[in-house]
């Protein structure tokens, strides 16, 4: 079980207990153990569940769904679209920051570390939580998707008034897991350079999220990473 040793925040540990004890999760752990013996795997073990550890289930206000962790050296640290301080912004993150600046007039930050968002209740969840170095999608179909689908379903079931931000078709396919009668969906094309011009620019997801939170009597997210 060396592949999945990290501690997991208590509220998530309780909510996901059945998953951790399921046959597919045992197979996933075996796969990861084997991968780590033969390959370099990102992110490091202590950061695989960073999204859950930074944003406990009762604290979730919004969810930003990604697909895979970054597969370059030093990029992935367990939060979708985020990179550690000092790491150059990947193309999609550059576009996210440009839209944030256009939407709310917030300066583009030097650091691409989105932990500040996570600590305010933005669950930065990838569908697949690990990847082999330099091989995008290499850990898809191994069990992570079942695990993270359960996370989405759990939020949908146990919480209300959550804003789900779904960028691109992959994330939008997860809408079937969400009870839209009690949650909110904000969607557009993916911020990737391949699609950003088809409707990501001007989609204003950050101001829309805050307005929905305010309308529900919740504190808005301070999206500004420069202070």
Residues labelled catalytic: 68
**Residue 60 tokens, joined:** 């979730």
CA nearest to 42, candidates 81, 86, 72: 72
How many C-beta atoms lie closer than 10 Å to residue 31's C-beta? Answer: 16
Q: 41-42 and 131-132: which strand pairing?
A: antiparallel
**Residue 221 tokens, joined:** 């997210």
- What is the C-alpha separation between 135 and 141, in angstroms, rounded? 14
Share in percent of the chain as helix, strand, coil (round to 5): 45, 10, 45
CA nearest to 40, candidates 144, 142, 132, 138: 132
**67 and 124 Cβ atoms separated by less than 8 Å:** no
- What is the C-alpha separation between 196 and 57, in angstroms, rounded? 31
Is cis: bond before 43, omega within 30 of 0? yes
**Residue 137 tokens, joined:** 């999608």
Chain centroid, CA 25 distance in Å: 20
């Amino acid at each position: 079980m060396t592949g999945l040793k990290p501690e997991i925040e208590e509220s998530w540990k309780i909510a996901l207990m059945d998953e951790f004890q399921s046959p597919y999760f045992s197979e996933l752990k075996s796969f990861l153990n084997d991968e780590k013996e033969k390959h370099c795997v990102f992110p490091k073990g202590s950061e695989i569940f960073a999204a859950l550890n930074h944003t406990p289930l009762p604290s979730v206000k919004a969810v930003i769904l990604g697909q895979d962790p970054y597969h370059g050296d030093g990029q992935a640290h367990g939060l979708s679209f985020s990179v550690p301080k000092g790491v150059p912004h990947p193309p999609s993150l550059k576009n996210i920051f440009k839209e944030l600046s256009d939407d709310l007039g917030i300066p583009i930050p030097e650091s691409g570390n989105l932990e500040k968002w996570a600590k305010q209740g933005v669950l930065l969840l990838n569908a697949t939580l690990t990847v082999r170095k330099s091989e995008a999608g290499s850990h898809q179909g191994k069990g992570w998707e079942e695990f993270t689908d359960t996370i989405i379903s759990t939020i949908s079931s146990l919480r209300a008034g959550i804003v789900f931000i779904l960028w691109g078709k992959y994330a939008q396919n997860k809408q079937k897991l969400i009870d839209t009668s009690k949650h909110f969906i904000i969607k557009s094309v993916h911020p990737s350079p391949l699609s950003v011009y088809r409707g990501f620019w001007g989609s204003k997801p950050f101001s829309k999220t805050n307005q929905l939170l305010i309308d529900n009597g919740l504190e808005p997210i301070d999206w500004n990473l420069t202070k």
